[in-house]
Structure 1
Amino acid sequence: MTVHFIGAGPGAADLLTLRAVHLIQRSPVCLYPGTYLDPDILTHSAPNAELIDTQHLNLDQIIAHCRRAHAEGKDVARLCSGDPSTYSAVTEQARRLDAHAIPWDVTPGVPAYAAAAAVLGAELTVPELAQSVVLTRAQARSTAMPESEALAGFARTRATLVLHLAITRVAELADELAEHYGTDCPAAVVYRASQPEQLVLRGTLATIADRVREAGLRQAAVILVGRALEPSVHCVQSHLYDPGRSRSGGE
């Protein structure tokens, strides 16, 4: 018996990996985050699978379901929205599973920021504009951010910035970021990327908060900020496709 932490992607049932689908199909128990997951993903489950929505369960209750499945010799598909490597709480769940000697593994998924970039048709790394992407979040009713990871510190780099779990503070954050990126810096919000309810808001750091307020968004949205979102004003050819570059001898 194994607990499979599975990246369920941004929501669309056809944006899972083949491995993820295979594991979901053969797991008799499926734990899924109903708040963020499109229910269509559950159509990959076996007809007789036990489906458990974890949105109202605490950590002890989730682990209790895993322990029961382990005692019954049943594999568990533990679905995570996006990719398990970010903001999935896999670490604390895995620590508890280790304490009970329950095997587990991880299957990656399509991260929310990648789905949002695809919806926007944006490459987040554009030559001479931005060659780094910062994935971070804001602190509201959540665990504290490390002191060394202040948003202003990231903003000073002017890298492409992706903010998770921050939509309720977009006005405050836009003001803070404008000090480093400028009020005219492109900003976008993608709500439930790839899902039927998908909504895309485009603007600048001066306007994006009003767009979010008008749309009434409170969760399940990714904020993207940076000049790479509008590269037409300054786009150069990358070294990769430079006709003068020698292609002999590797990179």
Structure 2
Amino acid sequence: MIHFVGAGPGAVDLITVRGKKLIEEADVIIYAGSLVNPELLKYAGKDTEIYDSAKLTLDQVLGLMKAADDEKKNVVRLHTGDPSIYGAIREQMDYLDGEGIPYDTTPGVSSFCGAAAALNMEYTLPGISQSVIITRMEGRTPVPERESVEALSAHGATMVFFLSAGDIGRLVEKLISSGRHKDTPCALVYKATWDDEMKFVCTLDTLEKTALDYGINKTALIIVGETVAQTGYEKSRLYAPDFSTGYRKGQES
């Protein structure tokens, strides 16, 4: 059995109870060493085979899975954050489907949630933004044209950029050219929830300088939008005295 497990954003105690249990029971662990906190491997048994996929090709990872399955071993494929976001899991699952190898997925806390926690921030503030766009800027690998920074920015929603800290200057140019004002609130969160986490609230025109000043060019999330300021929002109607729900009858004024 292959278990795809979300390792969480970084802090060891933010892995799920289920994920921790699967690590403890694994015969083989293949972990994304460039991003997963290695402290999580302390939960593994003393005889567990451990492989760092940062040093492997896809074919090598799949080969390890197949060999372990042939020997009836339990495998944990440990991905950073939640496997469903930039986890490249579909290509692994397609191979397993083709080989008739069973697998399941254990979700994890994504780093975009860890970043919000670091900032004590709510992404969806009534009257400001009720949507969150999780995306990345094109780099060595492209994105569909309909999902360009400019196209998505036009919605005015809160934006969370993964995998884009290496070229913040170009990201800023794209956002401003799409209509975002240079004073748009932004946040830069480096290694959210890790011991060496850094977090900064700035504006679009100071975002690049902030990153340069602190040497941040990878392993960071960039949050753009008015919600970063956490001001000027409307209170939720759900808790208003005159708002009825299936659990509470609203009071007439």
TM-score bracket relative to the smaller structure: over 0.9
Q: Given that residues 167 and 217 in structure 2 are in contact (C-alpha distance below 8 angstroms), is that contact kept between their aligned partners in structure 1?
A: no
Name 1:38's counterpart in structure 2.
Answer: 37
Name 1:183's counterpart in structure 2.
Answer: 182
Q: Indicate the RMSD between aligned Cα atoms, in angstroms.
A: 1.4
Going from structure 1 to structure 2, the CA distance change for 1:248 and 1:88 (only over 3 Å counts) comes to closer
Going from structure 1 to structure 2, the CA distance change for 1:248 and 1:18 (only over 3 Å counts) comes to closer
Tell me, what secondary structure is at the counterpart of 1:206?
Answer: helix
Gaps of 5+ in 2: none
Amino acid at match of 1:42: L
Q: Distance in 1 between matches of 2:213 and 2:140?
A: 23
* Aligned-pair CA distance for 1:248: 5.1
Amino acid at match of 1:196: D
Q: In the alignment, does 2:47 pair up with 1:48?
A: yes
Name 2:201's counterpart in structure 1.
Answer: 202
Q: Distance in 2 between matches of 1:82 and 1:159?
A: 23
Amino acid at match of 1:226: G
Per-residue CA deviations over 1:138-186 (Å, capped at 9, x if unaligned) read: 11112x2112112111111110000000001111111221342211111
Going from structure 1 to structure 2, the CA distance change for 1:249 and 1:39 (only over 3 Å counts) comes to closer
Residue pairs, 1:37-116, within 5 angstroms = 37-116=36-115
* Aligned-pair CA distance for 1:246: 2.1
Name 1:121's counterpart in structure 2.
Answer: 120
Going from structure 1 to structure 2, the CA distance change for 1:176 and 1:47 (only over 3 Å counts) comes to same
Name 2:230's counterpart in structure 1.
Answer: 231
Q: In the alignment, does 2:9 pair up with 1:10?
A: yes
Amino acid at match of 1:215: Y
TM-score w.r.t. the length of structure 1 is 0.95
Q: Given that residues 9 and 112 in structure 1 are in contact (C-alpha distance below 8 angstroms), is that contact kept between their aligned partners in structure 2?
A: yes
Amino acid at match of 2:98: A
Q: Distance in 2 between matches of 1:117 and 1:181?
A: 21
Name 2:168's counterpart in structure 1.
Answer: 170
Gaps of 5+ in 1: none
Q: Given that residues 113 and 222 in structure 1 are in contact (C-alpha distance below 8 angstroms), is that contact kept between their aligned partners in structure 2?
A: yes
Tell me, what secondary structure is at the counterpart of 2:124?
Answer: coil
Q: Given that residues 201 and 208 in structure 1 are in contact (C-alpha distance below 8 angstroms), is that contact kept between their aligned partners in structure 2?
A: no
Q: Distance in 2 between matches of 1:156 and 1:21?
A: 41
Q: Given that residues 129 and 227 in structure 1 are in contact (C-alpha distance below 8 angstroms), is that contact kept between their aligned partners in structure 2?
A: yes
Judge which range, 85-94 or 42-51, deviates more: 42-51
TM-score w.r.t. the length of structure 2 is 0.94
* Aligned-pair CA distance for 1:250: 7.5
Q: Given that residues 137 and 148 in structure 2 are in contact (C-alpha distance below 8 angstroms), is that contact kept between their aligned partners in structure 1?
A: no
Q: Distance in 1 between matches of 2:123 and 2:91?
A: 31
